[in-house]
Amino acid sequence: MKRLGILTGGGDCPGLNPVIRGVVRKAYLEGYEVLGIRNGWKGIIDGDIAPLDLRSVSGILPKGGTILGTSRTNPYKKEGAVQKVKDNFKKFELDALIAVGGEDTLGVANKLVKEGLKVVGVPKTIDNDLSETDYTFGFDTAVNIVTECIDRLHTTAESHNRIMVVEVMGRHAGWIAVHGGIAGGADVILIPEVPINIEEVCSIIKKRHAQGKNFSIVVVAEGAKLDENSEVLQEEKLDDFGHVRLGGIGQVLGEFIEKKTGFETRVTVLGHIQRGGSPTAFDRVLGTRFGVKAVELVKQGKFGYMVSLKGVKIEAVPIEKAVGTLKTVDMDFYDIAKVFFG
């Protein structure tokens, strides 16, 4: 019996458990045994691995997060860790590994493939910024959460005649901000791809007030920049993948808006609420399809490939291409959002 390993790395998101369930169910039908690796790459470094059977994945479809746990561990940043990955690959007699994650997790997978390990990738990120796939699971759920929160903020903003600034996730790509902003009827949407012009933002808000609209909703991605300055950070410390902790652009923007317009402004930071809770039907189906396809790639021996959504079909693309460049917001799409500014 061949043995597959599966791990989930990076930030958690709704849809991970449907992927795990899809992998285990398909593997069972194909005669494979599945081992669950806990806490991402950390688990295979430490040998924290246990069998996954049909009972293990029963009832997990609607659950958010991941039953395997996750971490931002990078084996290439820890002395001797890559060798431990290779050693445990042999120790646990893994014939292949399915790595579920975003740019960082799959970047490690791509390096390990080049060192001879048999790895298949599954794309996961609520930011939807992985290339070579139309959508990643977790994104749709995050957008639905943002939309609901904006809907709720509309009523309180209108009641108090306030400006509401809503800070959403999006490190280098503003997909959540654009989709959530359009769906929620935001009056201004600010993304990392386009430096913030504070004068233009305030002009839009003043114009709305002049037309009798006494409230406005401004959506801003956490990675947005003020006039090409660096991102607003919670702290300077870097994680294992060289990332800083973003956060605070909403507060900075809110203070600017209140000072320049004179209108009372409040800031809401949605933060990790966007990652939590039960996945939408779309993400449950997409995660399930990704998991099933990943096992098929293993069976076909297509290592170094990642499952991908192209239109309505699930295809295979090289992991190397997927992690080569970030997928940022298409400016034609952003132009559609701008039609509704103000």
Looking at domain 140-276, which CATH architecture does it have? 3-Layer(aba) Sandwich (3.40)
Asked if pLDDT for residue 232 goes beyond 80, the answer is no
- What is the end-to-end Cα distance of the chain in Å, rounded? 62
Q: Within the chain, which residue ranges are assigned CATH 3.40.50.460?
A: 140-276
pLDDT at position 342 is 81
Q: Which residue reads 């139309």 in tokens?
A: 134
Q: Is the pLDDT confidence value at 243 over 80?
A: no
Question: What length is written for the chain?
Answer: 342
- 127 catalytically annotated: yes
Residue from 12, 127, 129, 140 carrying the catalytic annotation: 127
Q: Supply 114's token pair.
A: 């080049």
What stretch(es) of the chain map to CATH 3.40.50.450? Answer: 3-137+279-322
| pLDDT for 336 beyond 80 | yes
Say if residue 244's pLDDT is above 80: no
Q: Are 26 and 58 in contact (CB under 8 A)?
A: no
The b/e string for 276-286 (b: 16+ C-beta within 10 A; e otherwise) is ebebbebbbbb
The CATH class that applies to domain 3-137+279-322 reads alpha beta
- Provide the pLDDT confidence category of residue 233 given band limits of 50, 70 and 90: low
pLDDT-derived band of residue 237, with 50, 70 and 90 as boundaries?
low
pLDDT at 324: 87
Q: What is the pLDDT of residue 122?
A: 97
Report yes or no: 40 and 7 within 8 Å, Cβ to Cβ: yes
Q: Where would I find the H helices in 92-197?
A: 103-114, 139-160, 175-184
pLDDT of 91 above 90: yes
Sheet holding 163-168, edge to edge: 188-190, 216-221, 163-168, 265-269
Helices (H), 95-241: 103-114, 139-160, 175-184, 198-210
- The pLDDT assigned to 161 comes to 87
The per-residue pLDDT for 245 is 58
